[in-house]
Amino acid sequence: VGIPVKLHWSFGLILFYVLYIGNSESLNLEQTVWFAGYVVALFFCVLLHEYGHALMARRYGVKTIDIILSPIGGLARLERIPKKPSQELAVAIAGPLVNVAIALVLTAIMLLLFDIDTLLRDPLDLTNLSDLKVFGTATIGINIVLFLFNLIPAFPMDGGRILRALLAIKLSRVQATRVASYIGQFLAACFIALALYQGLPSWGLIGLFVMYTARNEYRSVLREETLNNTALQSIVKQDYELLPSTASVLEALTTAEKHQSTRIVIDTAGSPYDLKITTIKYLRTIIVADSDLSLSQISAESLPTLAANTSIAQAVRSMHKTGTEVIAVIKNGQQLLGVVDRDILSSYL
């Protein structure tokens, strides 16, 4: 369906895991191969789960960059997360629902092939996965586990996103993320406490990971929101001198030195509004040769403009696209409010 699937390098570790389990459970070669087959089936279900997210996202016009499979699970990397709560909800829930669907279909098949008593009789263990009944039942089981695990309401599980989307119906996106993040951190704290109490260090690490991810999700949404809601007019700098192109280089240098500015913005008096920019450093080098030059005679870079109400996020995108280092922020078409350069913008990223 046109979405590249990538295996994380650490995916190879699974082979060692299979061999390790085979050894510690003293499985013979055939049993080990069947166990490997079961692990493959498990990751195939994880992959279908990720396709659930990806295909639902596509319905809302959101592309999926790729699906990455790693030993700790899958990740469908979406180009962006749909902002509408109902759409985020649908995308988040589509994955777990795929696992429900797989479990239901497999259950139906198993019930057609075997009667329910034989299905429940055989013990579910690694040594008899070669038995189709056991393999099938175990695969149904793992899909139920995947479904329940992903519904835990904490980032990075799908449940965290589902919770955020539900909260976002009533709250703003930032508020919803904050509440969802607190709930996730609270659950992680409970999990860590339980792990300590039970003496399970690896569970403790999972708890720490969930806590970290929950905190991060809130921070990144907050940052994203700041970038989208802060207009350029509130971050402009006035560390320049605005001069008409008829002014002389000498005049420009004197004014700049008086105010300790490093840049000169030249108004060419063109229509539409046309600005150029140059640095004091450059003017110092040319004045040595000829002190009578006017600003219109020197080579200056043209200065692109953006409207004062442009958001930081939009400005970053537009500067990236055009490869400009500095832009003028203007109000009402031709009132210069100040300049913004890459350094200022990157301090917000």
Judged by CB under 5 A, which stretch of 36-44, 92-100, 314-322, 324-332 contacts Zn ion? 92-100
Judged by CB under 5 A, which stretch of 26-34, 116-124, 158-166, 217-225 contacts Zn ion? 158-166
As a whole number of angstroms, the distance between CA 152 and CA 163 comes to: 9
Segments in 122-277 forming alpha helices (H)? 132-150, 158-167, 173-198, 201-229, 249-259
Judged by CB under 5 A, which stretch of 1-9, 115-123, 156-164, 320-328 contacts Zn ion? 156-164
Q: Which long-range contacts (CB under 8 A, 24 or more apart) does 60-69 make?
A: 60/84, 60/87, 60/90, 60/91, 62/91, 64/3, 66/3, 66/4, 66/5, 66/6, 67/3, 67/4, 67/5, 67/6, 68/6, 68/7, 68/8, 69/5, 69/6, 69/7, 69/8, 69/11, 69/43
Examine residue 338 and tell whether it contacts Zn ion (CB under 5 A): no
Q: Which amino acid is at 272?
A: P
Phi, psi (rounded to 5 degrees) for 332? 50, 40
Examine residue 158 and tell whether it contacts Zn ion (CB under 5 A): yes
Pick the closer one to Zn ion by CB: 88 or 158: 158
Reading the block at residue 214, the tokens are 């929950």
As a whole number of angstroms, the distance between CA 195 and CA 210 comes to: 13
Q: Give the residue nearest to Zn ion (CB).
A: 95
Pick the closer one to Zn ion by CB: 158 or 267: 158
Examine residue 241 and tell whether it contacts Zn ion (CB under 5 A): no
Examine residue 88 and tell whether it contacts Zn ion (CB under 5 A): no
Pick the closer one to Zn ion by CB: 74 or 136: 74
Judged by CB under 5 A, which stretch of 13-21, 64-72, 95-103, 172-180 contacts Zn ion? 95-103
Q: Pairing relation of β-strands 5-7 and 64-70?
A: parallel
Q: How far is the CB of 96 from Zn ion (least distance, A)?
A: 6
The catalytic residue among 50, 88, 217, 241 is 50
Examine residue 160 and tell whether it contacts Zn ion (CB under 5 A): no
Pick the closer one to Zn ion by CB: 161 or 276: 161
Catalytic site includes residue 224: no
Pick the closer one to Zn ion by CB: 27 or 91: 91
Phi, psi (rounded to 5 degrees) for 96? -60, -35
Pick the closer one to Zn ion by CB: 163 or 336: 163
Give the x-and-dash track for 47-86 against Zn ion (CB under 5 A): ----------------------------------------
As a whole number of angstroms, the distance between CA 189 and CA 210 comes to: 9
Judge contact between 165 and 85, C-beta under 8 A.
yes
- Residue among 22, 85, 95, 160 that touches Zn ion (CB under 5 A): 95
For binding to Zn ion (CB under 5 A), which residues are involved?
Answer: 95, 158
Residues catalogued as catalytic: 50
